[in-house]
Amino acid sequence: MANNVIILMLSASRRLAAGDCKTRPKSIHASIVMPLPRAQPIIPTLRKQPFDDPDWLFDFKYDGFRGLCYVERHRGWFMSRNGNYLGRFDRLGDQLAALLDLDEAILDGEVIAADATGRPQFYDLIWGTQAPAYVAFDLLWADGVDLRPLPLSERRQRLHSVLPEGSAVVSEALSVEGRGRHFFELTQSYDLEGIVAKRLADPYAPRVHWLNHDA
């Protein structure tokens, strides 16, 4: 199962993501950002002890470049959790836009780079020695419809329905419902980063709390 886990292992990616670009450059990607709403990402808070609860979803923690992916007019681009334009991933954004079964979209997820075994390699992402990919864990907007008020359970179903199968460009985050302790132990067994807990009934809003459990 470890070969299917795509997760980066260095927390320095957070700092490097913020330095990508302070202002959005003047480009075709910049010219098409405004028609879509600007989404405020949910930032997980730290919790030490994992737990089991049937009302919660548990994602593997993907310690890459957190990125909101905006798709419009067959183009895609990424904004960091701090609101910076991640121009280095424009090509990935365009590849993702071509694969989605949507004309407009906003997704939340992580930009990562994985080796041939599926293991993430942080420096390959930074140096560009491996092609980046996107692990999506939420769908906030789809063809003019704001999905943020919907519960996470429905947003994930819609996300699954629009993502291509077997793509090297984009995949859905690996997750499990209810069994947080077992999922956390699995990450420890493979020396991975941890899990993120999300309540299935929650909308996507600043008041929502996602819980970060570091392995």
- Full 3-state SS string of the chain: CHHHCCCCCCCCHHHHHHCCCCCCCCCHHHHCCCCCCCCCCCCCEECCCCCCEEEEEEEECCCCEEEEEEEECCEEEEEECCCCECHHHHHHHHHHHHHCCCCEEEEEEEEECECCCCCECHHHHHHCCCCCEEEEEEEEEECCEECCCCCHHHHHHHHHHHCCCCCCCEEECCEEEECHHHHHHHHHHCCCCEEEEEECCCCCCCCCCCEEEEC
Q: What pLDDT is recorded for position 28? A: 38
Q: Is the pTM of this model over 0.75?
A: yes
Percentage of the chain with pLDDT > 90?
Answer: 64
**pLDDT, tens digit (0-9, with 9 covering 90-100), for 81-108:** 999 999 999 999 999 999 998 999 999 9
The residue extents of the domains of the chain are 2-35+43-214
The CATH architecture of the domain made up of 2-35+43-214 is 2-Layer Sandwich (3.30)
Q: With 60 as the cut, is the pLDDT of residue 76 above it?
A: yes
